[in-house]
Amino acid sequence: MLETAFKGSRIYWAWIIFLLAIIGIGFIFYLKQFIVGLGVTGMSRDVSWGFYISQFTFLVGIAASGVMVVLPYYLHNYKAFGKITILGEFLAIPAVIMCMLFIFVDLGQPLRVLNVILHPTPNSVMFYDMIVLGGYLFLNILVGWTALGAERKGIAPPKWLKFFVILSIIWAPSIHTVTAFLYSGLPGKYFWMSALLAAQFLSSAFASGPALLILLALIVRKFTKFDPGTEAIQALGKIVTYFMLTSVFFLGLKFFTSFYSGIPSYGHSIVYLYAGLDGYKKLVPIMWISNILTIIALILLVIPQLRKNELLLAIASLCVFVALWIDKGFGLIVGGFVPNSFKQITEYWPTIPEVSISLGVWAIGFLILTILYKVAISIREELGDVDVHH
């Protein structure tokens, strides 16, 4: 099936070359980081995780959100998702690969990465994160590829696949729960140490992931003959609406506990992020951009007439994606380290090498995504986009 990825239009190849160029730049900067050390980044003794771990966290959510199309389709037999399901499954694959790459580029001694397997440590949450991420990648490749292969031959997918589909549905929330446990079990990190964190992670993931899927579906429809379906896109719009509302609600819960209790340690990071603390306010502007985008998105999403307009839905989806990316792919991790264990403040901002490496990883993700989507769409086009039995 992979051969279909080697035949494409001019735009397709231009896009591939563009991604390869970004990957190349990222790789050059990674060589620099590999030689000099993580000192080329903006991280410090006090803010010891930054952009990389933030991207990892955000992308685990994107990966997990594939379940938002897989579940209605397979468990509730929601036919409208018949065509879009493969896009959801194939989005999860590059997302997990990007997660793994972001962990890898964050390591101080990357060549020792296999120590995690050589010296397995079940008391470390990282051990479980490795298992759930690896497992989820395997499940999505297996399910997506097998289903597509069967479809190409015009036969029903093998019966055993159902087991793995259901397993992947159960597995999806686990990857983001375990990722939240990386942070929510650390004593003294009051911004993260909340039972709500895993739930917050899942709700924001189930908003940002489907928002990205809406945008991808619209792009696919514009550039190819494959139409994921208006009903499917509208249904995703509803999913984004409910989970965006849930995310804002959860944020409100966190604000209440942090501030009504009056315990300063619980409020410090939040104050730092949204208003600045002791005159330090590097992250305040982007956090407010996130807030404003959230408000715009909610207005466009909650009012049905606006949401039904596909252009406005696309704008809302973009707002949701960017707002949650700022919130989780930046503020959440950095905010947890401010103030430090001594209640002192060191600020963080990513450096050019750090951003370039991150863009390189994102480009690898988009390259894999492009190839997978190309395969899926070529096969659909071959079949003349007939009613599919996925």
Which residues does residue 324 pair with via DSSP β-bridges, in sequence order?
none
Among positions 106-125, residues that touch other proteins (CB under 8 A) are: 106-110, 112-113, 115-125
11 binds other proteins (CB under 8 A): no
Tell me the site size for other proteins, rule CB under 8 A.
49
Q: How far apart are CA 162 and CA 69, in angstroms?
A: 15
Closest CB to other proteins among residues 122, 285: 122
Query: For 384, which DSSP code?
Result: T
328: burial class by Cβ within 10 Å (0-12, 13-18, 19+)? buried
Query: In 3-state terms, what secondary structure has residue 280?
Result: strand
136 binds other proteins (CB under 8 A): no
384 binds other proteins (CB under 8 A): no
Shortest Cβ distance from residue 205 to other proteins (Å)?
Answer: 21
- DSSP notation for 137-158: HHHHHHHHHHHHHHHHHTSPPP
Q: Which of 49, 51, 266, 362 touches other proteins (CB under 8 A)?
A: 49
Shortest Cβ distance from residue 240 to other proteins (Å)?
Answer: 31
Per CB under 8 A, the segment of 170-178, 186-194, 220-228, 382-390 that binds other proteins is: 186-194
Closest CB to other proteins among residues 197, 320: 197
Spatial CB neighbours of 71, under 8 Å, sequence gap ≥ 6: 169
- Print the binding letters for residues 326-355 with other proteins: x by CB under 8 A, - otherwise: ----------xx--xxxxx-x---------
Query: For 387, which DSSP code?
Result: P
36 binds other proteins (CB under 8 A): yes
Q: Six-digit token pair at 127?
A: 């051990």
Shortest Cβ distance from residue 5 to other proteins (Å)?
Answer: 18
Shortest Cβ distance from residue 106 to other proteins (Å)?
Answer: 7
Report phi then psi at 277, rounded to 5.
-125, 130
38 binds other proteins (CB under 8 A): yes
148 binds other proteins (CB under 8 A): no
Q: Which of 6, 10, 11, 45 touches other proteins (CB under 8 A)?
A: 45
Closest CB to other proteins among residues 119, 153: 119
Closest CA to 244 of 299, 180, 310, 311: 299
Q: How far apart are CA 285 and CA 283, in angstroms?
A: 6
Cβ atoms < 10 Å from Cβ of 168: 24
Shortest Cβ distance from residue 218 to other proteins (Å)?
Answer: 35
Instruction: Say if CB 92 and CB 369 are below 8 A apart.
Output: no
For 227, what's the count of Cα atoms within 13 Å in the CB-facing half-sphere? 7
Shortest Cβ distance from residue 160 to other proteins (Å)?
Answer: 14
The total number of residues written for the chain in this structure: 390
Q: How far apart are CA 300 and CA 271, in angstroms?
A: 28
Q: How far apart are CA 241 and CA 300, in angstroms?
A: 9
Among positions 243-302, residues that touch other proteins (CB under 8 A) are: 264-265
46 binds other proteins (CB under 8 A): yes
201 binds other proteins (CB under 8 A): no
Shortest Cβ distance from residue 189 to other proteins (Å)?
Answer: 7
Interface contacts to other proteins, rule CB under 8 A: 36-39, 43-46, 48-49, 103, 106-110, 112-113, 115-127, 130, 138, 182-183, 186-189, 264-265, 336-337, 340-344, 346
